[in-house]
Structure 1
Amino acid sequence: MNPVFSCVQGVIGSMKYILVMGGVISGIGKGIIASSVGTILKSCTFQHISAIKKDTQMFVFVLDDGGEVDLDLGNYESFLDIRLTKDNNLTTGKIYQSVINKERRGDYLGKTVQVVPHITDAIQDWVMHQARVPVDDDGVEPQVCVIELGGTVGDIESMPFIEAFRQFQFKVKRENFCNIHVSLVPQPSATGEELRGLGLSPDLIMCRCSTPLDNSVKEKISMFCHVEPEQVICVHDVSSIYRVPLLLEDQGVVGYFCRRLNLPIETRPRKMLAKWKEMSDSGSDRLLEQCSIALVGKYTKFSVIKALEHSALAISHKLEVKVSETLNTLVCGGRSDAIWLPSHHPGGCCTLLVVEEIPPDNVKRYIYVMSYYYKYHAHRHSVNPELKQHFEEKGFRFVGQDVEGERMEVIELDDHLYFVGVQYHPEFTSRPIKPSQPYLGLLLGGFQVIFRKARFSVDSDQSGSSSPDSRASN
């Protein structure tokens, strides 16, 4: 690990922007690299980092405000332990709609609306405004914003955004803007030339490759792309995406940002990065023990699998996920260490647990953690509070309710190793180094692992679990 760099101390007066873009192919790993850049900066006591993505892809992740956004925003939240909103996902449609609204209000005084300057100005205004919106619980304004430009350089869909950022680098000044270009190794010089031809020169070239690059290759890329060798970063394939921040740290990326953007990075030990390394090491291929989790349901979500992955790392196990649309298939198909069972009807999981019986045949030990399918508790059916006592006499314990006492939020079952039903979505706030408490409990119960042996605290301040009303799923 490189030594911690000591840089200018004090408060940064201007927002710092780090633009991440890519060439050759889409899906090259810009999202993980953007998340990793934010992670290593945050680990250097630079506590407030935000993230924005411009994207044209399918929306598959749900944010705290109900916004349906690209999957990479889920990675930003997970890696950086922040909460984003739908406005952190920037799309062409949003920009054009904002310009149309301005034109209809007469903001342009009857002038012809054009891509330059109206669309490009709207992009810059959006970024500058959203970059300063607090994303941490303390409400402090971010000092750095990592911006991922989806797609590839040269795509017609990205051209207005590339032009906007070409202008943007001069508007915010060089000391506040840094550009990272991600490229496959076979064509780094071609993509670099293409980017410079559009008016953006890369400060860092991150080379995606299957194996580490030799110094001679880095020097050749440096020569053809007009950058110093230290500005050529190798991002080779690793056993886990959680190793990428450490990969960047080892190659001096933090020191480069420190000098390039004049960042006040302190010299005290980086506790967050140390925890990240410990967590990453626990997920290496050296692990022999494996946990098998059965996901029952037609609509299994990315966030659920990630929450299970975080918890598996916390107890140093590999994760195997079995997916089935019916419980009977899993019962007949072999044993799983634990079961996650969602409810995809308006009644919610508590109602499901109350009215539905799970056949005990051939089931030695099943453990459940459930969250249900709804939007902002806008369901028509729930457990009748008047029947609460009746169910508790049968062994159900309604251990969590809404503040009005009308909605049963969390239930447990007596005489069971781990049987939990929740109305909310704890998976949305699970983090790699702070796994969601219900999911961590599911795995610990599944293996009968003593809680004190877990490497991560299960106290509420370390759990990463959400409050009952904090998240919604579409």
Structure 2
Amino acid sequence: MARYVFITGGVVSSLGKGIASAALGALLQARGYRVRLKKLDPYLNVDPGTMSPTQHGEVFVTDDGAETDLDLGHYERFTGRSAMQSDNITTGRIYKNIIDKERRGDYLGATVQVIPHVTNEIKNFVLEGNEDYDFVLCEIGGTVGDIEAMPFVEAIRQLGNDLPRSNAIYVHLTLMPFIAAAGELKTKPTQHSVKELQALGIAPDILLVRADRDIPVDERRKLSLFCNVRPSAVIQALDVASIYDVPMAYHKEGLDSEVLAAFGIEPAPKPRLERWEDVAHRIRTPEGEVTIAVVGKYTGLKDAYKSLIEALYHGGIANRVKVNLEWIESEIFEKEDPSPWLEKVHGILVPGGFGERGSEGKIFAARFARERKVPYFGICFGMQMAVLEAARSLAGIDKASSTEFGPAKEPVIGLMTEWLKGNMLEKRSAAGDLGGTMRLGAYVAHLKPGTKIAEIYGANEISERHRHRYEVNVDYKDQLENCGLTFSGMSPDGVLPETIEYADHPWFIGVQYHPELKSRPLEPHPLFASFIEAAVEQSRLF
């Protein structure tokens, strides 16, 4: 039977519960255990799919088409296990499920209440589908005391009693701030956070304490005494240079040993951490560095591009180089010459996005990369803008545009209404819900033999994750290919262009999907590894 680790947070948000959960999962895996991670999000949205990236950050997409919290990306990157829709749930989905059941009469006329109906729904989510795992790590979003998180906290409290003895433990992540005026670290915020948690019926088994400097032994003893945990269970979580140092740092502090001890697993299997040691070594001792310009429209919040950032770093790990990122708001190029911004970079990446704002700037970036022979990587919207640039500059289609921006005389980019997925015909309508008009999840693409992208993948058939509404209009394919733009990947039915490239360019590739979602530090995505390799070659020309 699976054992459960519930991870809560206190004091302030953004302490790194997702990274902590993912790192613990990686450590348990290194000891030979099968691990699953789940995320409970307190917000009322059904999922983050319609939320602004500047508010929520990246929307992570799974193979089965779920739009989920970005922490699931951390889970995948650290454990290598592909997440599923059943790994993330929100208050919105919980209430939607309950209301649907109530309308169908499933509750047989009972008064529907938070306890037991909401908490039972949460517990069912936590417990379902875990038969093949040794440990299930369940992260509760937000902080203890948040009114919207109360049903989740109550549900995991109940699970502590529902599950067999020694089958559930609680890890509480808190902050220990350093007060410069006093010259000392303060334990009181953690004490108050634990007190709040205890008032809700949960006594933490392990304290994971974030701090920017070593926590003195006396302060740890104080936390142990006032928070009612064993001294060995007060684990300091210090700032590290890279998130990929976290597993080794937590192992050094004894987090995984303490978790297993809390379950009574002693002696514990020895961990095999050689691969994580190699990743940390490559990051600490790069053999060079490259600069990549990311020309986007949500650059004010880097979390909007979380998987993209990590995938670029993974490309650096694969090539043993440090990757420096230059963040450029695409609207700047609609007012200024892009040359001064892009002349010194070794690669240009234009990521996904929605809406017309900043689109012309992305087209200018694609033109600069094509004309100056700078490695270019266009992802989703970035591929579409590269196609529009080719249509206008090479094919003479001056009015080339996207119907996403409004009525278009030359709809080179448009809303495709139907396509095949496997043997099933999928349809969508512009009048549908925003999520309903999306092409979401994993789709197969066929790559043209002999093209650069087929060489990079080492395969002619691939499966990648999508998240977009608009497609390159296949009716313009021949016209664009006659001008030198190769459509190197297509959907199996030949209706949807998936990848483009220029044969006479050192490295110019656009993809309609999001390869960053499948990149991992232990297994960098081949496109990002190849892109950074091309950037290394570009740096040698300077």
Shift of 1:305: 1.8
Structure 1 counterpart of 2:344, one-letter code: R
Distance 2:146 2:354 in 1: 41
Aligned residue pairs total: 419
What is residue 68 of structure 1 aligned with on the other side? 67
Distance 2:94 2:220 in 1: 38
Shift of 1:93: 1.8
What is residue 329 of structure 2 aligned with on the other side? 324
Structure 1 residue 420 corresponds to structure 2 residue 527: no
- Cα distance change of structure 1 residues 343 and 216 upon mapping to structure 2, 3 Å threshold: closer
What SS does structure 1 have at the residue aligned with 2:81?
coil
What is residue 25 of structure 2 aligned with on the other side? 38
Cα distance per residue 1:162-201 (max 9 Å; x no partner): 1111111010123211100111123222222222222111
Shift of 1:216: 2.2
Any conservation in 2 of the 1:59–1:68 contact (CA below 8 Å)? no
Shift of 1:54: 2.6
What SS does structure 1 have at the residue aligned with 2:324?
strand
The correspondence for 2:162, drawn from 171, 174, 184, is 171
What is residue 228 of structure 1 aligned with on the other side? 230
The correspondence for 1:180, drawn from 171, 174, 180, is 171
Any conservation in 1 of the 2:25–2:35 contact (CA below 8 Å)? no
What is residue 403 of structure 1 aligned with on the other side? 492
Distance 1:210 1:356 in 2: 39
Distance 1:369 1:360 in 2: 9
Any conservation in 2 of the 1:61–1:74 contact (CA below 8 Å)? no
What is residue 435 of structure 1 aligned with on the other side? 524
RMSD: 3.2
What is residue 137 of structure 2 aligned with on the other side? 146
Any conservation in 1 of the 2:338–2:365 contact (CA below 8 Å)? no
Structure 2 counterpart of 1:183, one-letter code: T
Any conservation in 2 of the 1:184–1:208 contact (CA below 8 Å)? yes
Question: Greater strand share, 1 or 2?
Answer: 2
Shift of 1:329: 4.6
Structure 1: segments with no counterpart, 5+ residues: 1-13, 133-140, 347-352, 451-474
Any conservation in 1 of the 2:257–2:268 contact (CA below 8 Å)? no
* Farther off after superposition, 67-76 or 393-402: 393-402
Structure 1 residue 118 corresponds to structure 2 residue 122: no
The correspondence for 2:38, drawn from 38, 51, 56, is 51
* Farther off after superposition, 337-346 or 98-107: 337-346
Cα distance per residue 1:212-238 (max 9 Å; x no partner): 212222122112222211101000111
The correspondence for 1:315, drawn from 314, 319, 326, is 319
TM-score (norm 1): 0.79
Distance 2:93 2:377 in 1: 37
The correspondence for 2:243, drawn from 241, 244, 248, is 241
Distance 2:105 2:323 in 1: 57
Distance 1:32 1:87 in 2: 20
Any conservation in 2 of the 1:61–1:70 contact (CA below 8 Å)? yes
What is residue 344 of structure 2 aligned with on the other side? 335
What SS does structure 1 have at the residue aligned with 2:344?
coil
Shift of 1:55: 3.4
Distance 1:264 1:105 in 2: 49
Structure 2: segments with no counterpart, 5+ residues: 44-54, 177-185, 300-304, 356-361, 382-414, 416-437, 440-467
What is residue 463 of structure 1 aligned with on the other side? none
Cα distance per residue 1:313-334 (max 9 Å; x no partner): 3333333222231667542224
Structure 1 counterpart of 2:277, one-letter code: K
What is residue 200 of structure 1 aligned with on the other side? 202
Any conservation in 1 of the 2:298–2:329 contact (CA below 8 Å)? no
Cα distance per residue 1:51-98 (max 9 Å; x no partner): 223332836313124433322222122222222234422222222222
Structure 2 counterpart of 1:77, one-letter code: E
Shift of 1:28: 1.7
What is residue 101 of structure 2 aligned with on the other side? 102
Structure 1 counterpart of 2:211, one-letter code: C
What is residue 462 of structure 1 aligned with on the other side? none
* Farther off after superposition, 422-431 or 94-103: 94-103
Distance 2:133 2:509 in 1: 37
Shift of 1:367: 0.7
What is residue 278 of structure 1 aligned with on the other side? 278
- Cα distance change of structure 1 residues 86 and 60 upon mapping to structure 2, 3 Å threshold: farther
Structure 1 residue 16 corresponds to structure 2 residue 12: no
What is residue 128 of structure 1 aligned with on the other side? 127
Cα distance per residue 1:258-304 (max 9 Å; x no partner): 2322559974661xx321122123323x6584321112232563322
Distance 1:342 1:33 in 2: 27
Any conservation in 2 of the 1:279–1:314 contact (CA below 8 Å)? no
Structure 2 counterpart of 1:331, one-letter code: S
What is residue 374 of structure 2 aligned with on the other side? 366
- Cα distance change of structure 1 residues 354 and 253 upon mapping to structure 2, 3 Å threshold: closer
Cα distance per residue 1:383-415 (max 9 Å; x no partner): 448728x82x65544433322334433333224
TM-score (norm 2): 0.70
- Cα distance change of structure 1 residues 75 and 55 upon mapping to structure 2, 3 Å threshold: farther
Distance 1:259 1:364 in 2: 59
Any conservation in 1 of the 2:369–2:375 contact (CA below 8 Å)? no
